[in-house]
Structure 1
């Protein structure tokens, strides 16, 4: 099992920001929107299950939910910066 976090893409950062209603967000397609909403509501056990199939999306949502600077970090990624 890898211990490194996946790289969050610009698009994923923008989509997560939109789901959380924050500046810099861009509405994803329906599947991605529902996936990110599911991750936003999921507890950690279920997030881990979903993360096995969607690691980048899960990492971005975890950042938004649990990291104090997570939204700011996603906003930086959304404009082409690095985490």
Structure 2
């Protein structure tokens, strides 16, 4: 488990590895951390490691976003038919 506190943005990041996600005792350790920072009006975020290939999933997401942006730009530049 890795915990990053960003006081300037009032954000707490808690990172769990794939094996840590299933650890009930570790999950219980997160509860007081959440309560402490939630009481200080911080946003507490728990990131969990996935099972898919990060490179491939990121690559596909970037391709989709690039294609979608191109589609929207083409629509905006297309002449309006009346």
Shorter-normalised TM range: under 0.3
Q: Which has the higher contact order (CA 8 A, sep 6+)?
A: 1
TM-score under structure 2 normalisation? 0.25
Name the structure where helix makes up a greater proportion of residues: 1
Relative to total residues, which structure has the larger strand share, 1 or 2? 2
Of the two, which has the highest radius of gyration? Answer: 2
